């Protein structure tokens, strides 16, 4: 299921995402603020990447640009070799719906819908028949350990369970990119750890070559990912594998 028309071989050989010299500014009053000041990076398939940095460093701006929720002023973003800036509005919307899964700090579930209905929403918007969407949603809830809560509404679930529903929803269209904005920010540390384990599992799924990119203030959570990118004043401070990733690669 893809928005792109490349052959399978092209998709295999091109890097998942390539950002080159991305600049994004905002005008506040008369003043120009550079949220991103020449960012180049390449999240790799099969990797869990965290982006850390102080408030105002540009983390959210970067995540929005990675997910085509916003456009840069200049620079290039290629998704499996295709320039996202060249997509028309329809292609951008399809890219967001099919190629990217979003996970948010406050889960963003619809309160009146059950867990499986929340998971199934993206496919229903995409014209998939309800019965097919339901089967897929139930299988994904099983995968995130919530098969037994499929008919519960969000207010009958714990924070960790709501985040699991949100992760199942993000996986529904089988995207190769998952973007997570402070996914553990509203959870206690034990529940946060279990969500990090689930996201690690999602990134390391050997059948998909998927990349999970997470923005976080939680440095301890970032240490459990494969790679930490530090942002400061819209610039890349460092981009390094974590000790756990180095240890794993050495095995």
Would you tell me which residues interact with ligand ADP (CB under 6 A)? Answer: 26, 28, 33, 35, 53, 55-61
3 or 221: CB nearest ligand ADP: 221
Sheet holding 100-103, edge to edge: 100-103, 177-181, 211-215, 48-52, 227-232, 235-241
User: By C-beta, is 56 or 185 nearer to ligand ADP?
Assistant: 56
CB of 153 to ligand ADP, least distance (A): 31
Query: Please, what is the minimum distance in Å from the beta carbon of residue 201 to ligand ADP?
Result: 26
The neighbouring-strand residues paired with 77 are: 19
Minimum CB distance to ligand ADP, residue 234 (Å): 7
Residues 6+ apart with CB under 8 A from 109: 118, 154, 162, 165, 166, 169
First to last CA, the chain: 34
* Closer of 31 and 206 to ligand ADP (Cβ): 31
Q: Are 65 and 37 in contact (CB under 8 A)?
A: no
Which bin fits 48, alpha (ψ -120 to 50), beta or left (φ > 0)? beta
How many angstroms separate the CA atoms of 209 and 125, rounded? 26
Cβ proximity to ligand ADP, 60 vs 108, nearer residue? 60
CB 197, min distance to ligand ADP, A: 25
**Residue showing tokens 């085509």:** 68
> Which CB atom, from 35 or from 41, has the smaller least distance to ligand ADP?
35
CB of 12 to ligand ADP, least distance (A): 33
């Amino acid at each position: 299921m893809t928005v792109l028309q490349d052959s399978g071989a092209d998709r295999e050989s091109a890097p998942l995402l390539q950002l080159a010299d991305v600049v994004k500014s905002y005008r506040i009053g008369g003043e120009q603020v550079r949220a991103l000041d020449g960012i180049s990076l390449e999240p790799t398939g099969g990797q869990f990447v965290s982006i850390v940095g102080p408030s105002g460093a540009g983390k959210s701006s970067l995540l929005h640009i990675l997910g085509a929720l916003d456009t840069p002023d200049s620079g290039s973003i290629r998704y499996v070799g295709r320039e996202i800036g060249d997509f028309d509005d329809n292609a951008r919307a399809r890219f967001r719906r099919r190629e990217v899964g979003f996970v948010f700090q406050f889960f963003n579930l619809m309160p009146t819908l059950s867990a499986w209905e929340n998971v199934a929403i993206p496919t229903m918007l995409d014209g998939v028949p309800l019965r097919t969407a339901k089967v897929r949603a139930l299988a994904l809830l099983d995968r995130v350990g919530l098969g037994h809560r499929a008919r519960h509404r969000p207010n009958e679930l714990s924070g960790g369970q709501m985040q699991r529903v949100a992760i199942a929803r993000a996986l529904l269209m089988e995207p190769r990119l998952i973007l997570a904005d402070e996914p553990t920010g509203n959870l206690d540390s034990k529940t946060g750890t279990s969500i990090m384990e689930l996201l690690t599992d999602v990134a390391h799924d050997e059948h998909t070559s998927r990349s999970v990119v997470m923005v976080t203030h939680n440095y301890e959570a970032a240490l459990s990912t494969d790679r930490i990118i530090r942002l400061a004043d819209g610039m890349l401070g460092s981009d390094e594998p974590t000790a756990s990733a180095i240890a794993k690669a050495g095995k």
